[in-house]
Amino acid sequence: MELQEIRALLKEMYGGENKPITDGNYDKPLAVKCINGTFVGRKKENITVFRGIPYVGQQPVGDLRWKAPVDIVPDNGVYEAYYNARSAYGNGQLETGSLYYMDEDCLYLNVFTSDEPSTKKPVMVWIHGGGFEAGGTIDPVFDCVNFVKENPEVIVVTIAYRLGVFGFLHLSHLPDGKDYPDAQNLGLLDQVKALKWVHENIAAFGGDPENVTIWGESAGAGSCTLLPLIPGSQKYFHRLIAESGSVNLTRSSDEAIACTEKLMEALGCKTVADLLKVDAERLLETATAVLFLHQFPERDGIHLPTDTFAAYAGGAAKDIGMLVGCNKDEMNFFVSSFGLEGWGVWVEERKKGKLAHLPAEEKALVDSFRKDVEGDLFQPDASLFSQAWFNAPIIKLSECQAMGGGKSYTYYFTPESPDPIMKCGHAIELSIVFNHSEATSDMGRSFDETFCRAMRRMWVQFAKTGIPSDNWPLYTLENKEVMVLDEFDIHPAKESEVKIVDWDRTYFLTKYYAL
């Protein structure tokens, strides 16, 4: 499908522009009064959806580009909440959400709730993925009508945040950068601000602000695992679900500064003032060309600790219940998405980085691992990067959470696509968890419906109670038990039985974060 066709489809499904309602002519039962206005949703069967609610007082445009999100202000106005807001500027090569019309005016959220009466519904807040540089809530897979229809006892909120060069750009080292101390982690600060809005307003929708679960996949999962480490954030949520993403999807301050310098050189800029004169389209185009999959949050020692794993091991998130896991063949998704030639180029570029500078004994371990991987020519590297980016960090996160006195339920998702390249790749579980059986293009087939319902039920049960199912064991340092999400045999097992990670030859790579 061509870009314009995709945009037209998304506009038909969700597009439009929310406007103030000044004549008093609106459906009062579909209106909810919040601090920053009364928002009127639309009803689909027994589900009411509120789209495009702003969660900031001013959008990050003009002089507010690269500034921290602004608090909402009281507003007695009445506003349509009929249409999804425009997506944050992002890389359309990676995610459908970035194929819709984009704007720096992008900090909005959506609320999905059922008619089932309650004043204390558990709340699940979805944070989309996309490598921290793509994606958006408008992706049809993230439409939660089906999910809430099946699980009417919960409310789901989906949030947008700044991406890539707009959300994760180190600027404070520049001559005029002292006024931009937060630019390196703005996307995460946006998420905290959205959670603050949920905390202050969700009761008006029937939600329980004291029972909020954050939930994400890929960069969204990385966000969910990083948010507990941001000072002051934990008062806004109580549990997290992280699908295929962890605290390793970050970069050091030196790495972030190097990325900024590369961008500045490509743009011919010397100062923040120069950057502010560059239009958003050119910023996005240039960053996509020179910083592809390098624009991660920064372990800056301000908003995030310099060692995120150590923070977990020290108990920083011990009061946050966790459900985390990975898919069996994570990186095969990227092989399929990039194409074999594109994958080869990406791998070689990555190998010139941290892998090239490993000590000899560590290089020997990596080479030994690759040598033992069976399959097509791309598979040794795909398996290596699956281990380094996803499998090993997620197991390490569970280890660290246990060390810190916290609780972690850990899973291993195994159903395969008939596509010999995709196998059980990254993100193929999304059609399951959002109850979109029609969105199985990555999988290449439908999943068993009993399995799908069981998986969704575990997610909802965890959000409600903190325990996904009666037979799901906690991950402990002694037993290292996980739940194997096999399509026809969901069962607990010791990690040593399913071998999620190679403890001797890849686990050590977690100290390098994202290779």
Q: Contact 166/66 with Cβ under 8 angstroms?
A: yes
C-alpha pair distances (Å), 350 with each of 133, 344, 353, 468: 18, 10, 5, 37
Instruction: List strands edge to edge, sheet with 239-243.
Output: 42-44, 47-54, 108-114, 155-159, 121-127, 207-217, 239-243, 321-327, 408-413, 481-485, 491-494
Of the listed 426, 429, 431, 481, which one is catalytic?
A: 426
> Would you call 330 a catalytic residue per the annotation?
yes
**DSSP single-letter state for residue 479:** T
Q: What does pTM read for this prediction?
A: 0.97
Q: How far apart are CA 460 and CA 120, in angstroms?
A: 15
Residues 6+ apart with CB under 8 A from 511: none
pLDDT (tens digit per residue) in 435-470: 998 765 556 678 999 999 999 999 999 999 999 999
pLDDT (tens digit per residue) in 108-160: 999 999 998 888 999 999 999 999 999 999 999 999 999 999 999 999 999 99
C-alpha pair distances (Å), 33 with each of 23, 41, 55: 17, 11, 14
Q: How far apart are CA 25 and CA 511, in angstroms?
A: 59
What residues pair up with 62 in beta bridges, in sequence order?
none
- Biggest CA pair distance of the chain: 73
How would you class 278 by CB atoms within 10 Å of its CB: exposed for 0-12, middle for 13-18, buried for 19 or more? middle
Pairing mode, strands 108-114 and 42-44: unpaired
Give the residues of the chain that fall short of pLDDT 70.
Answer: 1-3, 439-444
Instruction: List strands edge to edge, sheet with 31-34.
Output: 31-34, 37-40, 78-80
Residues 6+ apart with CB under 8 A from 285: none
Q: How far apart are CA 36 and CA 162, in angstroms?
A: 21
What's the confidence (pLDDT) of residue 443? 63
What residues pair up with 409 in beta bridges, in sequence order?
323
Q: Contact 114/130 with Cβ under 8 angstroms?
A: no
Q: How far apart are CA 206 and CA 514, in angstroms?
A: 40
Q: Chain centroid to CA 367: how far?
A: 31
The sign of the dihedral angle between the CA atoms of 15, 81, 193, 237 is negative
Q: Contact 34/53 with Cβ under 8 angstroms?
A: yes
Q: Chain centroid to CA 352: how far?
A: 27
Residue type at position 132: F
The sign of the dihedral angle between the CA atoms of 35, 37, 38, 42 is negative
Q: Burial code of 187-213, b = ≥16 C-beta within 10 A, e = fewer?
A: bbbbbbbbbbbbbbbbbebbbbbebbb
What's the confidence (pLDDT) of residue 257? 98
Give the residue among 24, 55, 50, 23 at the shortest CA–CA distance from 39.
50
Pairing mode, strands 108-114 and 47-54: antiparallel
Of the listed 95, 330, 416, 495, which one is catalytic?
A: 330
What's the confidence (pLDDT) of residue 95? 81
Give the residue among 104, 127, 280, 102 at the shortest CA–CA distance from 193.
127
DSSP 408-448: EEEEEE----SSTTTSS-TTTTHHHHTT-TT--TTTTSPPP
Number of other CB atoms surrounding residue 273 within 10 Å: 11
Domains and CATH numbers, the chain: 83-512 (3.40.50.1820)
The sign of the dihedral angle between the CA atoms of 118, 119, 121, 124 is positive
Of the listed 98, 172, 218, 408, which one is catalytic?
A: 218
Angle, vertex CA 206, rays to CA 202 and CA 207, nearest 5: 50
Residue 298 Rama label (left phi>0; alpha psi -120 to 50; beta): beta
Q: CA Rg, the chain, in Å? A: 22
Q: How far apart are CA 189 and CA 352, in angstroms?
A: 32
Tracing tokens 């998420």 back to the chain, one arrives at 191
> Would you call 341 a catalytic residue per the annotation?
no
What residues pair up with 144 in beta bridges, in sequence order?
none
Helices (H) and strands (E) in the chain, counts: 16, 16
Number of other CB atoms surrounding residue 490 within 10 Å: 18
Number of other CB atoms surrounding residue 79 within 10 Å: 23
- The pair phi, psi for residue 338, each rounded to 5°, is -80, -25
What's the confidence (pLDDT) of residue 440? 58
Give the residue among 182, 191, 55 at the shortest CA–CA distance from 132.
191
> Would you call 95 a catalytic residue per the annotation?
no
